[in-house]
Amino acid sequence: MSNIRKKYSAEEKAKIALEALKGEMTQSQITSKYSVHTTQIANWKRQLKDGIVEIFKDKRHKESRSDQDELIEELYKKIGKLEVELDWLKKKSDLFK
């Protein structure tokens, strides 16, 4: 007996999870209809519930967040470079004492 796993596309997963979320069919009916284990359907349903908030988040806020992350990363690099330069200057200044 071979253990063949079916791969479901994101669209198929969303369709099955949405159908489970609607509650028009029982879990066992959905399992029979799509030949998917009930645990898997429950997982997809939970992922749909958890991820649905992301759809309605303000995209502008998300973009500005990534811009802030890039700026922070750039500033940390600058600080590191300046610290290296400062250490080098301190070492060189000891030669003149």
Per DSSP, the three-state class of 2 is coil
Q: Do residues 48 and 62 share a domain?
A: no
Q: Do residues 72 and 45 share a domain?
A: no
Give pLDDT tens digits along the chain (97 positions): 557 788 889 999 999 999 999 989 998 999 999 999 999 999 999 999 988 887 777 666 666 677 888 899 999 999 999 999 999 998 888 877 6
Model pTM greater than 0.85?
Answer: no
Q: Do residues 40 and 13 share a domain?
A: yes
Per DSSP, the three-state class of 76 is helix
Q: Do residues 63 and 94 share a domain?
A: yes
3-state secondary structure 12-33: HHHHHHHHHHHCCCCHHHHHHH
Q: How far apart are CA 25 and CA 20, in angstroms?
A: 7
Q: How far apart are the first and last CA of the chain?
A: 83
- Structure tokens belonging to residue 54: 């992301």
Q: Do residues 65 and 84 share a domain?
A: yes
The total of structural domains in the chain comes to 2
How much is the pLDDT for 60? 66
Task: For residue 50, give its domain range.
Answer: 7-56
Q: Do residues 52 and 72 share a domain?
A: no
Secondary structure letter of residue 56 according to DSSP: T
